[in-house]
A and B are shown apart, each in its own frame.
Chain A
């Protein structure tokens, strides 16, 4: 059964109502932006609002993906930029925060792409592997944008890049907290970040299929051990996929990272771990001299053939804006809404079910593995100590309200380690907790039995406001 009341508005609860309300006044003023060659139109659309952008003439691209002429693109709740190599005219009905910039780092970015293309050509010739590119840099340096630009360019040249997201703060085709690997074989849906993961229905822009793992904590440093294990798992899955798919293999990987890794020793160690697990051979350092020298120190000295790592410094774009916590929170919430209810292009009907407290198996991620290990080290259980420390089995309480669980591809008999290493089947949301009747009302993407799967409860994404 689907949720009544939602369908009229595509999946976005109250917010779009404001947008459609604002629309009539907006249409009154159509703004024409004339962009010179090599300039960029940067804009911000508040949550709950939308703008339509139409390319009238010339060429334009948004994060590496070319815009079709005369096609209205709708953007909502985003901060983005449209760049032109040749000059263009954009028609934008309504107003938003915007300005045009002529100083952009697009030349080094596109050159980076072409340098990668050369490596890919070589890989194709020698039946070898394409470059494995890691993008590092502080928060709000434009890492994800760069990853998207490089992926977009590669896709345009009929490559199939594997895009890896190790940034737990933002999801890629999934909700925040998940780490994903996604081979991109077709155009990125520019209107919605990275596009949509598969639904039961058709999609105007081809959907992408992520391999999804779950690390449900706010920062990789909250539980480095778990983060490392999940990264290892993700690398394994991605590498095996690479081996089986020649087109992806010769294109290689582009790996996004959380900005927090660029801030200190602990983070650097995690970067080293990612470099190792993914056999990264090119590191793009965005907007941080210190990180660049650190990366050089760590990796550039290794000249062993096959393991050599090239460290490249790139400038941060002047268009990068700080996204405050409120913005991040809203992005997060939107990602969760979209997962269940779809977006403006397609309305999804999630499924609710009532589950008894006793029928459900919930594991809570431990924040810091180390303290618990020392605490429990005297415990003489037969269990592998490392395996029992990952999660804490919890009984449902009122605290679960509005929380997200990851439903794992594992069975209830599996060890915690197996559960951690399993990929995610889907996410569910706790809509109601009735402690008296000991029942949970759970929102799942579709009608499927969830009680025979272990569910992982993390503190990230944070419990959001009521979705329904």
Chain B
């Protein structure tokens, strides 16, 4: 269907590869990103890469291999499959044409291919063993014969013995691990761990117009070229799987949220946490439709079907890659221009899953889920109160200020005082101390009044739950407003509990738990002092 597009992408990729002369982390990660974003053209890209490695000059082979390495480690399927085909030839041909320094690098790289991706939780090797072992065996053979060439005469007999049983001592310059045959690794045909079942396809795979991803010349980039030890940065895949349909009626939504708040955490065996929303809906194999990012049209991927065991051969949990430090500095103008996909993830999946109503993200841990549940409660209540408010009529508040605070109503610090909005002391004799507050009177004269007892002014504070400015610890008695605590002190007609309940408002707001929402909610009905 889009073989033409594939060709375009591949050509673009090939062009970019031609520019790759140095081992520049930036360019390599850039090419990796291109590969990731064009997985539907994986076949064409893989072929282009292989051809490039074959055709390019020997100095450029190593950087090209690093691209291959980066792609299989950071993108994985389906590239692993395509690139593993003919890898033997690609690798060996290149190996034959490069010098010993590069060969050592290639040896090191090959070694990592037999191991899982660094930091990844999947224990399978980067490439299946049946891909890497022939190469390794051939290398051993080749090296052995090289050594043999040097010491043919002396070693001729020993070589015969070593042939079937190569040992490290026979190859002193190579820090190779035990050949894979001896390793206790599960065969690649293992059933992939369940968490990989829904590895999302890369976002919005779309054809790349030619020349778009031409990376800038490496010379302007301040990256030390040889720093390719770590896997390059990886833009994390967006994770917008919101299991909650927005169209749910609020009551159901609330129910659902409350329920989920109590649900057990996602099993610890699902480590790519960032892609695992805390709601059970997503743990199910059939993930919600919202999750289905435009399916990449895998047109040229027949091998996938033939090699199902490799389907998830190299899943890369993002946790392995996001730990790259924030190295942006103002002092270097180039530093500001460098794309850093790993930092972007700090604004997205590292923040957790998004609220379906407003997009705010919450961590998937215990505290985050609690926060989110409170947050959704808050949305729900606001919607309900808005309907209420429509009837009563609203107006712009006066600007009032310096002391006022925006208290995060959706955090755990939701205040839930026994709100006596009218200023009449709550009659309920709760075991909990009651917080008293009054909406700040609209009348500026009254608004600037002092407590008749202590002569101090009332401090306005924005109370989130009530959605208005209030005076904490205020009480209206007749026409006058007192500090509730002063009044209690003066009249002694309230229990000492009330007195204790009047520390600095910040302390109260910061500490209370939102347990008795019901109380808080009932008292949400606004009372307009003047109207």
| 0/1 string, B390-421, CB within 8 A of A gives 1 | 10111111111110111111100000000000
Q: Complex formed: what's the CA distance from A107 to B26 in Å?
A: 14
List A contacts of B359 (CB < 8 A). 65-69, 71, 187
* A69 in contact with B240 given A206-B409, A313-B333 (CB within 8 Å): yes
Q: Complex formed: what's the CA distance from A342 to B355 in Å?
A: 26
Q: Within B347-364, which residues are at the interface with A (CB < 8 Å)?
A: 347-348, 351, 354-361
Contact residue among A117, A426, A452 (Cβ-Cβ distance under 8 Å from B326): A117
Tell me if A202 is interfacial: C-beta within 8 Å of chain B: yes
List A contacts of B238 (CB < 8 A). 58-59, 85-88
Binds A, one of B64-72, B113-121, B286-294, B310-318: B286-294
**Cross-chain contact B398 with A425 (CB below 8 angstroms):** yes
Tell me if A348 is interfacial: C-beta within 8 Å of chain B: yes
Q: Complex formed: what's the CA distance from A205 to B379 in Å?
A: 9
Q: Within A30-67, which residues are at the interface with B (CB < 8 Å)?
A: 34-38, 55, 57-59, 65-67
Tell me if A346 is interfacial: C-beta within 8 Å of chain B: yes
Q: Within A165-203, which residues are at the interface with B (CB < 8 Å)?
A: 174, 183-187, 197-203
A316 CB to closest chain B CB (Å) equals 14
Tell me if A416 is interfacial: C-beta within 8 Å of chain B: no
**Cross-chain contact B531 with A68 (CB below 8 angstroms):** no
Tell me if A287 is interfacial: C-beta within 8 Å of chain B: no
**Cross-chain contact A86 with B242 (CB below 8 angstroms):** no
**Cross-chain contact B357 with A59 (CB below 8 angstroms):** no
Binds A, one of B84-92, B191-199, B462-470, B493-501: B462-470
Q: Within A417-437, which residues are at the interface with B (CB < 8 Å)?
A: 423-426
Tell me if A224 is interfacial: C-beta within 8 Å of chain B: no
List B contacts of A187 (CB < 8 A). 358-360
List B contacts of A241 (CB < 8 A). 402
Q: Please give me the residue from chain B that is nearest to A66 by CB atom.
A: B359
A435 CB to closest chain B CB (Å) equals 28
Q: Complex formed: what's the CA distance from A204 to B382 in Å?
A: 6
* A111 in contact with B203 given A186-B408, A449-B443 (CB within 8 Å): no
List B contacts of A199 (CB < 8 A). 394-397
| 0/1 string, B517-531, CB within 8 A of A gives 1 | 000000000101011
Tell me if B205 is interfacial: C-beta within 8 Å of chain A: yes
Contact residue among B237, B246, B442 (Cβ-Cβ distance under 8 Å from A448): B442
**Cross-chain contact B328 with A115 (CB below 8 angstroms):** yes
Tell me if B212 is interfacial: C-beta within 8 Å of chain A: yes
List B contacts of A207 (CB < 8 A). 406, 467
Q: Complex formed: what's the CA distance from A186 to B329 in Å?
A: 27
Tell me if B52 is interfacial: C-beta within 8 Å of chain A: no
* A85 in contact with B235 given A37-B37, A199-B396 (CB within 8 Å): yes
Contact residue among B246, B331, B358 (Cβ-Cβ distance under 8 Å from A70): B246
* A86 in contact with B290 given A201-B467, A349-B393 (CB within 8 Å): no
| 0/1 string, B185-211, CB within 8 A of A gives 1 | 000000000000000001111101100
List A contacts of B328 (CB < 8 A). 111-112, 114-115, 118
Tell me if A132 is interfacial: C-beta within 8 Å of chain B: no
Tell me if B299 is interfacial: C-beta within 8 Å of chain A: no
B340 CB to closest chain A CB (Å) equals 7
**Cross-chain contact A59 with B383 (CB below 8 angstroms):** no
A427 CB to closest chain B CB (Å) equals 9
How many chain A residues sit at the interface, stated as a range, is 35 or more
**Cross-chain contact B204 with A35 (CB below 8 angstroms):** yes
Tell me if A211 is interfacial: C-beta within 8 Å of chain B: yes
Tell me if A209 is interfacial: C-beta within 8 Å of chain B: yes
Q: Complex formed: what's the CA distance from A374 to B442 in Å?
A: 43
Tell me if B385 is interfacial: C-beta within 8 Å of chain A: yes
Q: Complex formed: what's the CA distance from A426 to B442 in Å?
A: 12
Tell me if B171 is interfacial: C-beta within 8 Å of chain A: no
List A contacts of B382 (CB < 8 A). 202-204
List A contacts of B409 (CB < 8 A). 206
**Cross-chain contact B395 with A446 (CB below 8 angstroms):** yes
List B contacts of A112 (CB < 8 A). 328, 330, 336
* A447 in contact with B468 given A69-B290, A426-B398 (CB within 8 Å): no
Q: Complex formed: what's the CA distance from A2 to B390 in Å?
A: 13
Q: Complex formed: what's the CA distance from A247 to B392 in Å?
A: 36
Tell me if B145 is interfacial: C-beta within 8 Å of chain A: no
**Cross-chain contact B204 with A36 (CB below 8 angstroms):** yes
**Cross-chain contact A102 with B237 (CB below 8 angstroms):** no
Contact residue among A58, A185, A339 (Cβ-Cβ distance under 8 Å from B203): A58
List B contacts of A108 (CB < 8 A). 336-337
List B contacts of A424 (CB < 8 A). 399
Q: Complex formed: what's the CA distance from A385 to B490 in Å?
A: 49
**Cross-chain contact B467 with A202 (CB below 8 angstroms):** yes
Contact residue among B209, B333, B357, B397 (Cβ-Cβ distance under 8 Å from A197): B397
List B contacts of A136 (CB < 8 A). none
List A contacts of B443 (CB < 8 A). 448-449
List B contacts of A86 (CB < 8 A). 203-204, 235, 237-238, 348
Q: Please give me the residue from chain A that is nearest to B331 by CB atom.
A: A310
List A contacts of B338 (CB < 8 A). 107, 111
Q: Complex formed: what's the CA distance from A206 to B392 in Å?
A: 20
Q: Complex formed: what's the CA distance from A242 to B206 in Å?
A: 46
Contact residue among A67, A240, A342 (Cβ-Cβ distance under 8 Å from B402): A240
**Cross-chain contact A34 with B337 (CB below 8 angstroms):** no
Tell me if A216 is interfacial: C-beta within 8 Å of chain B: no
List A contacts of B346 (CB < 8 A). 114, 157
Q: Complex formed: what's the CA distance from A66 to B242 in Å?
A: 14
Tell me if B454 is interfacial: C-beta within 8 Å of chain A: no
Tell me if B386 is interfacial: C-beta within 8 Å of chain A: yes
Tell me if A110 is interfacial: C-beta within 8 Å of chain B: yes
List B contacts of A340 (CB < 8 A). 396
**Cross-chain contact A157 with B337 (CB below 8 angstroms):** no
* A209 in contact with B401 given A59-B203, A200-B468, A347-B390 (CB within 8 Å): yes
Q: Please give me the residue from chain A that is nearest to B385 by CB atom.
A: A202
Contact residue among B294, B347, B397 (Cβ-Cβ distance under 8 Å from A198): B397
Q: Complex formed: what's the CA distance from A204 to B245 in Å?
A: 18
Tell me if B227 is interfacial: C-beta within 8 Å of chain A: no
Contact residue among B242, B341, B347 (Cβ-Cβ distance under 8 Å from A69): B242
List B contacts of A67 (CB < 8 A). 359
List B contacts of A2 (CB < 8 A). 393
Q: Please give me the residue from chain B that is nearest to A87 by CB atom.
A: B204
A467 CB to closest chain B CB (Å) equals 13
Q: Complex formed: what's the CA distance from A67 to B357 in Å?
A: 9
* A68 in contact with B235 given A186-B408, A423-B401, A425-B398 (CB within 8 Å): no
Q: Complex formed: what's the CA distance from A425 to B393 in Å?
A: 21
Q: Within A110-125, which residues are at the interface with B (CB < 8 Å)?
A: 110-112, 114-115, 117-118
Contact residue among A111, A174, A185, A312 (Cβ-Cβ distance under 8 Å from B406): A185
A414 CB to closest chain B CB (Å) equals 14
List A contacts of B340 (CB < 8 A). 107, 110-111, 114
Contact residue among B294, B343, B360, B444 (Cβ-Cβ distance under 8 Å from A110): B343
**Cross-chain contact B467 with A350 (CB below 8 angstroms):** no
B55 CB to closest chain A CB (Å) equals 29
Q: Considering residues B37, B292, B359, B405, which has the most beta carbons from chain A within 10 angstroms of its beta carbon?
A: B359
* A445 in contact with B406 given A108-B336, A111-B340, A156-B361 (CB within 8 Å): no
**Cross-chain contact B401 with A88 (CB below 8 angstroms):** no
Q: Please give me the residue from chain A that is nearest to B462 by CB atom.
A: A209
**Cross-chain contact B351 with A157 (CB below 8 angstroms):** yes
Q: Which 10 A-B pairs have the closest CB atoms?
A: A87-B204, A201-B394, A68-B359, A201-B389, A445-B396, A59-B238, A87-B203, A86-B203, A86-B238, A202-B385
What would 23 A/B residue contacts be, using CB atoms closer than 8 Å? A35-B204, A38-B339, A57-B240, A59-B238, A59-B240, A68-B358, A85-B347, A87-B203, A107-B337, A108-B337, A111-B336, A112-B328, A114-B326, A114-B328, A115-B329, A183-B406, A200-B394, A201-B389, A206-B406, A209-B406, A241-B402, A282-B330, A448-B442
Known: A57-B290, A102-B209, A157-B347. 14 other contacts (CB 8 A): A38-B339, A55-B240, A67-B359, A68-B246, A68-B357, A70-B242, A85-B344, A85-B348, A198-B462, A200-B395, A203-B467, A240-B402, A447-B442, A453-B444
